[in-house]
Amino acid sequence: MSEIKTFVPTPDSPPPLTSTGVLRWLRDNLFSSWFNSLLTLLALALLVRVVPPLVSWALVHAVWTGGPGVCDDASGACWAFIAAKARVMLIGTYPPELAWRPLAAGALLAGVVAATVSGRCKKRVLTGLWPVFFAAALWLVGGGAGLETVDQSRWGGLMLSLGLAAVGILVSVPLGILLALGRRSGMGGVSAVCIGFIELVRGVPLITILFMASVMMPLFLPPNFQINNLLRVQVGIILFSSAYIAEVVRGGLQAIPKGQIDAAKALGLSPWMVTVFVVLPQAVRHVLPALIGRCIALFKDTSLVIIVGLLDFLGMAKAASQDQLWLGHEVEGYVFCAAVYWVICFGMSRYGRSLEKRGPQTNR
Amino acid sequence: MKIIGKLLLALALLALATGAMAGTLEKVQQSGELVLGVSEGVAGFSAPDSNGKWAGFDVDMGHAVAAAVLKNADAIKFVPLASKQKIVAVSSGQVDLSRGTTWTMKRDCKQGVDFTVVLFYDGQGLMVKKSLGVTKATELDGASVAVVSGTTSELNVADFARANNIKLETVVFESKKEAFNAYVAGRTDAFTTDVSQLASLRAGAANPGEHIILPETFSKEPLSPFVRHGDQQWKDLVTWVLFGLIEAEEKGITQANVLDMKAKSQDPAVQRLLGATGDVGSFVGLDNDWLVRAIQAVGNYGEMYDRSFGPKTALNIPRGHNNLWTKGGLIYAMPIR
């Protein structure tokens, strides 16, 4: 028996070092041409100049804890300021002994948001849950019916921003849809009113509306009939936002082929049912990205209320930096605000993406 | 736009003139709280502290009035007002009393409000580094000054320089903070804005001790609390409570010794002031202990000033114009009798 020789090929030599791993990635992405190489080097130079001072300010030389005056000699950020002012920035001038009430409302909000985002709850349940939540939150924060009343002038901080935005979004989206439907309805009177309203509101900046609501309105009302400032501002925000949402939704309505409507009618659906079950679900799905964009914009727009004397999150950060004991720490306050705003807006944006991915079936 | 604004104002004033508005004193006593307009946060004047309680000079002023009227210094509802809102908020009756604001003829005569007593004489001043060795503004010949654009600051500096025959070079910046930072970084020799603002920015700087505020001011910003036009009873009341606080400082009555003074003082003016004799309280529709309560709540004018601006505070604004007339300042109370 002679041994059978098997041919063993020499293994492939590895690819040249420059076409694998980190080097390849670097070459493809950062140094693919002389222009890109130049940009990379410039960007690197910029990072080297910016990042170390930033890190040294925000982390290395920062002061994390302590009372007033602890930051006097520090060269870095004074995060102790944020710690000391956290209460004011979150709930404003709300009475400290009742602070558990807005916090409980916040916990409820977190629960309702979690239920909504998880997508496990039935739509019907959610539709019921939100109004119940609002009633509960309003009762907790405002008082009445067994709880001590806390006047609106003491609401402020992040609580106020979230409240204005949440009510704004949940009222202005349905209102905007109604306006869009009204604008496209064949009825002359209704569509004229809707067009008039939308064009009027879209033609003025939000600041003007807030000023009208807050500064001009009291001039017309009799002295003993004063509507509360917060309510006026909230209505202003809702009206402003609903006009924009109406136009976004109208875009979606126009994208539905007429054949679908005719087909639905041929099946015997009433015009009302056609709108609710055939047109709207598709239209809203089409414009979901733009709609989420409007909601994020509305949340950020609430920071404008400072010009009419409501101290929201940003306003409270600014006011808190005027405390004699903590002067000169606006920057830390603004950085903190930016971080919180970013987290909330990014969360809304992610939720929007997940809504887009859900199929029409699971959305029922 | 201007015409519309005037029309609206005329309408509002007409409504005020014809509408039967309940007296503010009555309203405040019925509701049991004073509605006080405060700022959205101005260091020293009004700002929320770490517990969310409003504190500052204007807030103390409110405490004094609340103590006199309601016998409870804390019976106040604070309403933050943006500077564009504050006049309308008072003239339309949304707030009973507003934080100190520059007393001008237009506001007083045409915008439906009445001013009471100037409690803080602010004005444009100059800040320089201590190392410069300057003690008077007139020594600043040839210096560069950081000013904020879009205000009268620039004009005031030029007028001051011309009047004193010195040369000042102005460098204009968009915002107060920007101008201040440029000055701190050494781009200019001096920085100018209202003295209270100078003090507040200085307190927030890295080394507050390095900067001094020069004694001269060259613009008039008399800050006075104000009330709705046409309610004479309420205006009188606020005015005389504030005069009372000033008179108390002049007579040496303090938060600590007010009861003692009431019992023992032989000075007829003090006896009248504290209600030991006479009935001045009834002149403003209150009882005879009105000023005792106000002084117990916040102290006399000087104590109030020191609490917000004194040497122990971060702001540390010298009394200057805000000293008593007997000590070279402008603070002067009309006789209480």
Q: Are residues A109 and A226 in the same domain?
A: no
Mean pLDDT for the stretch of residues B222-249: 95
Residue A89 CB partners (closer than 8 Å, separation 6+): A82, A157, A158, A313, A316, A317, A320, A333, A336, A337
Is the pLDDT assigned to residue B6 strictly greater than 70? no
Q: Are residues A145 and A160 in the same domain?
A: no
How close does chain A come to B154, measured CA to CA in Å? 25
Residues 10-39 of A with CB under 8 A from B: none
ipTM of the complex in this document: 0.81
Q: Are residues A211 and A311 in the same domain?
A: yes
Report the alpha-carbon angle B329-B334-B336, nearest 5: 135
Domain total of chain B: 2
Q: Are residues A251 and A324 in the same domain?
A: yes
Last residue of a domain, one of B155, B188, B219: B219
Per-residue pLDDT tens digits for A303-358: 999 888 889 999 999 999 999 888 888 889 999 999 999 999 999 999 888 888 87
Is the pLDDT assigned to residue A214 strictly greater than 90? no
Judge: B77–A215 Cβ closer than 8 Å, yes or no: no
Q: Are residues A283 and A264 in the same domain?
A: yes
Q: Are residues B213 and B322 in the same domain?
A: no
Conformation bin of residue B252: beta by default, left when phi > 0, alpha when psi is -120 to 50: left
CA dist B109 and B51 (Å) reads 39
Residues 199-218 of B with CB under 8 A from A: 200, 203-206
CA dist A286 and B145 (Å) reads 58
Is the pLDDT assigned to residue B150 strictly greater than 80? no
Is the pLDDT assigned to residue A363 strictly greater than 60? no
Is the pLDDT assigned to residue A162 strictly greater than 80? yes
Q: Does B21 touch chain A (CB under 8 A)?
A: yes
Percent of chain A with pLDDT over 90: 40
Domain total of chain A: 3
Judge: B314–A84 Cβ closer than 8 Å, yes or no: no
Percent of chain A with pLDDT over 70: 97
Is the pLDDT assigned to residue A36 strictly greater than 70? yes
Residue from A323, A331, A334 to probe the interface with B (highest B Cβ count within 10 Å) = A323
Nearest residue in B to A80, CA atom = B50
Judge: A309–B78 Cβ closer than 8 Å, yes or no: no
Per-residue pLDDT tens digits for B274-289: 999 989 999 999 999 9
How close does chain B come to A231, measured CA to CA in Å? 14
Judge: B41–A84 Cβ closer than 8 Å, yes or no: no
Domain CATH code at residue B71: 3.40.190.10
Q: Are residues B186 and B49 in the same domain?
A: no
Examine residue A13 and state whether it is found in any structural domain, yes or no.
Answer: no
Mean pLDDT for the stretch of residues A215-219: 78
Is the pLDDT assigned to residue A362 strictly greater than 60? no
What pLDDT, on the 0 to 100 scale, is given for residue A145? 79
pTM of the model: 0.84
The answer to whether residues B33 and B256 touch, using CB atoms and an 8 Å cutoff, is: no
Q: Are residues A145 and A168 in the same domain?
A: no
The residue segments making up the domain with residue A235 are 155-355
Q: What is the mean pLDDT of chain B?
A: 89
Residues 35-94 of B with CB under 8 A from A: 40-44, 47-56, 77-82, 84-85, 88-89, 92-94
Is the pLDDT assigned to residue A77 strictly greater than 90? no
Inter-chain Cβ pairs, chain A and chain B, closer than 8 A:
132
The residue segments making up the domain with residue B157 are 124-219
The answer to whether residues A274 and A342 touch, using CB atoms and an 8 Å cutoff, is: no
Examine residue A300 and state whether it is found in any structural domain, yes or no.
Answer: yes
Examine residue A9 and state whether it is found in any structural domain, yes or no.
Answer: no
Which amino acid, one-letter code, is at A292? I
